[in-house]
Amino acid sequence: MRVSLDSVGRVGSHTHRVFLPIIGHAFGKRYDLPVPLWLFVFGGALVVFLSFLLVLPRAVAPVRTTESQYADRSQLRAPSPIRWIIAGAVTVGLIAAGLVGSQAVAENIVPSFFWLLVWVAVPISCGVIGDWTRPVNPFAALARVVDRPELRRVLLGSEEVVTWPEWLGWWPAAVLFFAMACGELVYNGDATRPGFTATCLLVYALLSSVAGFFVGAPTWTDRGETFSVLFATWGRLGWLRFGALGRRGLGGGLRVPFTADASRITFVLLLLVSVSFDGLLSTPAWRSFRTAIPLTGVRFELFETAAFAGLVLAAWCLFGGFAALVRRVGNLEGSTLTVLSGLLPSLLPIALGYLVAHNAEYIVINGQLFIPLLGNPAGIVGVHLLPAPFNDSYEINPNLLPSSVVWYAQVVLIVFVHIVAVVQAHRYLGHAARSQAAAQRSEWPWIVAMVGYTMTSLWLLAQPLVETTASAVVRGAGTLAMMLR
């Protein structure tokens, strides 16, 4: 994201404005590690490994009869016209504000609403409390509105929907998610412009309408509509089910298996890889690499896009390879794809933990932008809908959360979710293996993968993303202003 700051750190001043690019997940003062980096990384890995040794000998409870009938699908909620109308009105308002309002990122609510609230905060909330979004998802509502047999009969001559090919699977949702993630991570300068974001929302609304008309709302929201698939996937971790399959409680939806399909596995891996790639882009090593290679502008953005895709492929090879080892060592039935899909629920808690750890300060700091933006959502000069502090007088506090508190919370969270992943994998392999001895053998390759990813996650968190204080922000803005003259 880009935050507009003037010489005293206020947001949205119409007299003197400088756009200061800020890495979205790195705010506040640098916090030095209290222990050497190697001890920190290996210490976290040791905690995960010890938890594995504690869990390994424990027997796994049998699968309940109802759980054996679970299928990997999203369920449309009963129509909720009032909530859909409100959600639709908000979406229309956002599109209008983005198209006709100020194109200064910090003066228009559209970039913050989409890239901070919808793209980051809502997925985290679904991972904590469950997928609450289905009754208010405007794109699912549009698909349902046009999913009318009589309308298809008039326009197509048949009431039947177009059959969704099996080979297509979840690829539309995965490709759309990859494109949006590239907008956040690679093409941030363009994707965060209010007009661009609003245009994309409009195009996506039209896409959902056309898809709902041709293939039907249930199929589109189940496999194609990115936000429905995204929030439902995160919702498997949430405490409440909101009508979805699974038991009530934290991680209750993880007992619903993922389909052994390459597109479905790719979508889940994207949740993991996108946050890891975001962290990688913020490291000093990547910044040094960026200055070393002779690529700039669009060519470097295309290179970063290819690097992102390559990291997804690397995740496929890594976790697929470990799944093959698990299958061979444990003599499990089914293909490697089946084993990998069964182990995917153990990766989902890690993805959520890293999403929260990586974005905590981002939400707290950039979330303050909503306070002045609510007084003038479109950033139109002369509009004052609310009094102070909902105007340009509000000042962003970049040190709202103590860095030490955030740091330790991140570390505890990362280690905790890896322990949860170990328990989840233990449960799956305990059911998939033919004997307890075979299950215990099969867990060893996967714990290697878990420990390795723990170390990688902690290393990324330990990188000095920024070294900034309030005065440093002002100095950076002044320097950038000189460069732009």
Strands (DSSP E) contained in 284-328 are: none
Q: What is the amino acid identity at position 229?
A: V
Torsion of CA 211, 217, 223, 229, to 10 degrees: 110
The DSSP call for residue 293 is: S
Strand bridging mode 18-21 / 2-5: antiparallel
CB 460 within 8 A of CB 276: yes
* Full DSSP string of 353-415: HHHHHHHHHHHHHHGGGHHHHTTSTT--TT---S-TTSSTT-B--TTSS-HHHHHHHHHHHHH
Distance CA 348, CA 241 (A): 16
Would you say residue 469 has pLDDT above 70? no
The DSSP call for residue 84 is: H
pLDDT value for 243: 84
Would you say residue 233 has pLDDT above 90? yes
Distance CA 253, CA 333 (A): 24
Straight-line distance from the first to the last Cα atom of the chain, in angstroms, rounded to the nearest whole number? 22
402 confidence band (pLDDT: 50, 70, 90) = confident
Question: Rg of the Cα trace of the chain?
Answer: 24
Q: For residue 378, what are its two tokens?
A: 């479109």
> Which residues lie closer than 8 Å to 226 by C-beta, 6 or more apart?
172, 173, 176, 177, 180
Q: What is the amino acid identity at position 342?
A: G
SS3 420: helix
H-helix or E-strand spanning residue 19: strand 18-21
Q: What is the pLDDT of residues 80-95, one digit of tens each?
A: 788 888 999 999 999 9
Q: Which residue has the higher pLDDT, 450 or 326?
A: 326
Would you say residue 448 has pLDDT above 60? yes
Q: What is the pLDDT of residues 25-76, one digit of tens each?
A: 433 444 556 667 778 788 888 988 999 999 999 888 777 767 767 888 876 6
CB 266 within 8 A of CB 312: yes
Q: What value does the mean pLDDT take over residues 438-446?
A: 93
3-state secondary structure 217-240: HHHHHHHCCHHHHHHHHHHCCCCC
Distance CA 223, CA 230 (A): 10
Distance CA 52, CA 35 (A): 24
Q: What value does the mean pLDDT take over residues 446-453?
A: 91
CB 334 within 8 A of CB 247: no
pLDDT value for 397: 82
Q: How many CB atoms lie within 10 A of CB 234?
A: 25
Q: What is the pLDDT of residues 386-396, one digit of tens each?
A: 888 888 788 88
pLDDT value for 5: 37
Would you say residue 367 has pLDDT above 60? yes
Please state the pTM of the whole predicted model: 0.87
pLDDT value for 485: 39
H-helix or E-strand spanning residue 55: helix 37-55
Cα angle 344, 349, 355; round to 5: 115
Q: What is the amino acid identity at position 431?
A: H
